[in-house]
Chain A
Amino acid sequence: MLTDWHPRLWWGRPTHDDYDVKVRVPDGHQLGATGLPDTKAGGRYRAEKVRSFGLYLAKGVRTLETSSAGVSIRALFWPDGEKCAELVLSTAANAVDFYWQRFGFYPFTSLTIIPGEYDEPYGGYPVATGLIAIHGMTKVASVPKLHWQWITAHEIGHQYWGDWVLEKESPGWLWIGLGIYADREYVLARGLGLDKHRALVHEYLWGVKRYYDTTMSLTLEQYARVNFDCNNVVVHGKGFATISALAWVMGRDAFDRSYQRCLREFAGRPLGPVEFQRICEEEAGQDLDWFFSQWVRSNRYLYYRVGAVRRTSTGAVYRTEVQVERLGTLRMPVPVEARFQDGSRQEATTDRLRDVDTITFTSASPLVDVMLDPRRDLAMVDWVLNEEEGRLVRRLEAMAWMPEAAEVTELLGAAKAVGLRHADLWFKLGMGLYHAGLNEEALEAFAWPLPGEVPWVAAGDPGFRSENRMRILLCVWQGHVLDVLARRAEALEAYRAALSLSASIGGFRIRQDHYRLVIDPDWIQTRLETPFSRSLINQS
Chain B
Amino acid sequence: MCCAPEGSSFPLDPPHALYQIDCVVSPDLKELQGTVAISLRNTSTLTLRRLVLNSSSAGCVPRDATVSGNPVALAAAQSVSALSIPSTPDPRFLYLVDLAEPLTPGGTVEVRLAFSTRLDGDR
Contact = CB atoms under 8 A, between A and B. Distances in A.
Interface of A: 1-2, 4-26, 29, 49, 53, 57, 167, 170-172, 220, 223-224, 268-269
13 contacts: A6-B34, A6-B56, A7-B115, A9-B38, A11-B14, A14-B87, A21-B22, A24-B23, A26-B27, A57-B29, A167-B87, A268-B16, A269-B13
A398 to B, nearest CB: 24
Given A7-B53, A7-B56, A20 B18 contact: yes
B43 to A, nearest CB: 11
B51 A9 contact: yes
B25 A57 contact: yes
A9 B54 contact: yes
A5, A220, A223, most chain B CB atoms within 10 A: A5
Contacts of B24: 23-25
Q: Which 7 A-B pairs have the closest CB atoms?
A: A4-B56, A170-B86, A11-B14, A12-B10, A10-B54, A24-B24, A7-B62
B21 A8 contact: no
Contact of A224 (B17, B19, B26, B84): B84
A6 B25 contact: no
B57 A4 contact: yes
Given A4-B57, A26-B27, A18 B19 contact: yes
A16 B18 CA distance: 10
A538 B25 CA distance: 50
Interface in B10-46: 10-11, 13-14, 16-27, 29, 32, 34, 36, 38, 40
B99 interface: no
B85 A21 contact: no
Interface range on chain B (Cβ under 8 Å from partner) = 35 or more
A10 B94 contact: yes
A8 B53 contact: yes
A221 to B, nearest CB: 10
Given A5-B32, A26-B29, A11 B11 contact: yes
A273 B55 CA distance: 29
Interface string B60-75: 1010000000000000
Nearest to A117: B122
A460 to B, nearest CB: 36
Given A172-B87, A224-B84, A9 B17 contact: yes
A7 B89 contact: no
Contact of B52 (A10, A18, A24, A57): A10
Contacts of B23: 6, 21-24
Given A57-B25, A167-B87, A10 B16 contact: no
B12 to A, nearest CB: 9
Contacts of A1: 123
B25 A7 contact: no
Contacts of B85: 170, 220
Nearest to B84: A224
B105 to A, nearest CB: 15
A18 B117 contact: no
B60 A16 contact: no
B14, B36, B83, B85, most chain A CB atoms within 10 A: B14
Nearest to B24: A24
B4 interface: no
Given A6-B56, A9-B40, A11-B10, A25 B25 contact: yes
Contact of A223 (B60, B86, B117): B86
B76 interface: no
Nearest to B39: A18
Contacts of A21: 19-23
B36 A7 contact: yes
B60 A4 contact: yes
Contacts of B26: 26
Contacts of B55: 7
A20 B23 CA distance: 11
Nearest to B8: A12
A415 B53 CA distance: 55
A154 B104 CA distance: 42
A6 B60 contact: yes
Contacts of B38: 8-9
A8 B115 CA distance: 11
Contacts of A16: 16
A308 B32 CA distance: 70
